Structure 1
């Protein structure tokens, strides 16, 4: 029997990790590394059916949604995003009416989620805005979610279930596929995955995939499908509040951009929210922005959307790097810049822009340093003195005349 590389979501309970580990025994390649369990953030301790988290998450504080959504006109309406994951619980109130029936490849229901991972991913994409008691919402709250379940708390996913899920997304004619899962299998084991991603590319379907969470070691590592070189695959790393690579985020030359992935608030099964972190939650942030672009520019190809997100990303240096790619996604600039992308940016483009900016600075002519007055300044000063002196002289003469008149009146003299 041919071994199947295992596929893991970014964070799972012990039962799912055990199931994934069991699958990994059957192959020479390990499952995608999960976050360190010790980094779990417990604002609501990820309790299903919990309370909503008050306030606005940091990842949304830097976005003026009224401008981003162009009032109410641009919220991802008409765009369907397939979420290949642990299922999406349709019961969470912020996801009400957004979750399509979907399909399960794990002997369960695609609209249920015993793990919670897929529900968090879906919330970052499309959770309702203006929900009572919280400032959290999805990036594209009018988008629809097609859940394609590849694993459950009892059954881990594998490469075959991922391939079948991508095929189902293609058949459903979705605009975007979000894959917050991955495999570290050798490329020789990936022909079926490569083939189905090629098919999605031919159908103009954008795939947004997590770069992986194996970055703590500092060694580059590839996670698939994010590391595939297809023009329709956007590989998303995780950034922190300082727009730098999150410590867990995998680094490699395939990283296209980064998106917030630390302390991410999102929806959980039944109701409520919790906080989590990982590239699993960076990918849907980018997928939500891509959904806005898909609505605004329906004629743009997946490659054009990727090029546009790369070009408009926020960056601190003029080159691509293995940590955050071309920079951290900038939703406002991406949506407001309507320039039609024609190709991917290059290091030469960014270096040229930097050189041009420096040249502009060099063209600024500094003012001459003058130690003392110029002739014009001296003439102006003399003119001022004359005006002021003349005014004082008139005042003195007038005062003297008035004093003389009063003295003459007092002593009975005629006033001339």
Structure 2
């Protein structure tokens, strides 16, 4: 029997009817046997500047959609003709209906506001990326000494990295640290490129800032700007250098790219994520890490027009980058819920006032529940599912360490953080090692291999959160604990 919140992923006659209705009307429809989700109307009064995504019915009609945006009183902020997505802003309160009703409206598949407040407003620091726990920060770091790059001796704090031992990264390093030509995009809050463990690891030519309205910002100031320490911590787990300083990442020999998708208030709006995934595909990256959910909704519902349009834009961007050879790892989320069976969301929208709402089969946490993305749950040093980690028999691909993880922080130091945000970069690092050993493998082959090579882990119930499934595949660990040694053997 299919899980109640996963049936939407199957191609059924009901879902085809829903898509046909969407194409004809510009509004999503839910399957007849699926109760509607609770509406969360987004009010866009005249004079208030709002951001929108407008999706063309085909990518060939992007130019027509841009004309429709302008006819409706909007400004095109960024266009992605490769996927038929246009990011726009407008002070016209009727912008959505005017776009759909305009002369070129027939070319518009969907249009939606990407936030519940005007562009200049928001609740600082409540965005998806901030859902982790800072437990301890220590050490001011040391000045980077380029002569130490490539040193084979243990770095001073490797002994504290229980997480690397658990996934056998230390054993994998006896085979390879990864190839420099493999690039991992860190879609996050930016990377501190002056950190002694990261200074030589980041390719600024491949880096970008997407957090200004979803526009591509290739300026040095944009690429190196920071919105908190989260991205720096994630980057260290993936590829902190083997240089005789501090710690060592899962794949210290690969290259990082900073893809900043978090704004200064801590939000990752849909247009930022679209920009990040598109950039990764266009720049030919190999792996991305995504330790966040897209704001302002923890779950984007197919039967809500604004949420559908935003979800569709992100889905297209993920599919485009995957088709260009990029494989994606993503955090499962920190709500302590089962993604398969959860029917309630009380955290959204997080940029204004959250409401308690019913969610249905068409509601998904993005990007982690999008097709082809490796979804990662978090475990602790004892190998138990972390209490905060989301789970789900149909949702989780693999598990990785995510509680009290030592990694790099802004200012040259090191800190312990917890969250599925910390679990996902372990998997991104393993995928980078695997890509180093198998450079011709496609994203689908990499996903299949990382699942197949994971170490089976039997269910071990956490109080109040039943584990279901078999030793080989269950709701806590998916296919098992990710295995770095297997990736390079």
Interval containing the TM-score (normalised by the shorter chain): 0.5 to 0.7
TM-score by length of 2: 0.58
**1:33: how far off?**
8.5
TM-score by length of 1: 0.68
Residue from 239, 250, 255 that aligns with 2:390:
250
Residue from 178, 181, 197 that aligns with 1:75:
178
Aligned equivalent of 1:92: 195
Distance 1:153 1:182, change over 3 A: same
Deviation readout 1:93-152 (Å, 9 max, x if unpaired): 1001211221112246222324011111111111012423x4x21111111111111124
Aligned equivalent of 2:91: none
Does structure 2 retain, via aligned residues, the 8 Å contact 1:244–1:324? no
Q: Within 2, Cα distance between the matches of 1:234 and 1:192?
A: 19
Deviation readout 1:281-303 (Å, 9 max, x if unpaired): 11111111110110100111111
Residue from 44, 47, 61 that aligns with 2:165:
61
Matched, 1:3 2:116: no
**1:203: how far off?**
1.3
Q: Within 2, Cα distance between the matches of 1:17 and 1:131?
A: 43
**1:64: how far off?**
5.7
Deviation readout 1:37-58 (Å, 9 max, x if unpaired): xx531252xx8x4688674221
Residue from 437, 444, 450 that aligns with 1:303:
444
Does structure 2 retain, via aligned residues, the 8 Å contact 1:95–1:123? yes
Does structure 2 retain, via aligned residues, the 8 Å contact 1:211–1:250? yes
User: Structure 1: which 5+ residue stretches go unaligned?
Assistant: 7-15, 22-30, 337-416
Distance 1:332 1:171, change over 3 A: same
Residue from 366, 371, 376 that aligns with 1:224:
366
What is the number of equivalent residue pairs in this alignment? Answer: 308
Distance 1:62 1:259, change over 3 A: closer
Q: Within 1, Cα distance between the matches of 2:276 and 2:165?
A: 34
Matched, 1:119 2:232: yes
Aligned equivalent of 1:170: 281
Q: Within 2, Cα distance between the matches of 1:328 and 1:54?
A: 20
Does structure 1 retain, via aligned residues, the 8 Å contact 2:177–2:254? no
**1:314: how far off?**
1.6
User: Structure 2: which 5+ residue stretches go unaligned?
Assistant: 1-49, 51-111, 143-155, 213-220, 303-307, 344-363, 459-470
**1:316: how far off?**
3.0
Aligned equivalent of 2:455: 314
Distance 1:309 1:278, change over 3 A: same
**1:20: how far off?**
5.3
Deviation readout 1:46-86 (Å, 9 max, x if unpaired): x8x46886742210234665641245x44243100111110
Aligned equivalent of 2:150: none
Aligned equivalent of 1:325: 478
Q: Larger % of strand: which?
A: 2
Does structure 2 retain, via aligned residues, the 8 Å contact 1:79–1:295? yes
Distance 1:79 1:129, change over 3 A: same
Q: Within 2, Cα distance between the matches of 1:257 and 1:60?
A: 16
Aligned equivalent of 2:250: 139
Does structure 1 retain, via aligned residues, the 8 Å contact 2:164–2:170? no
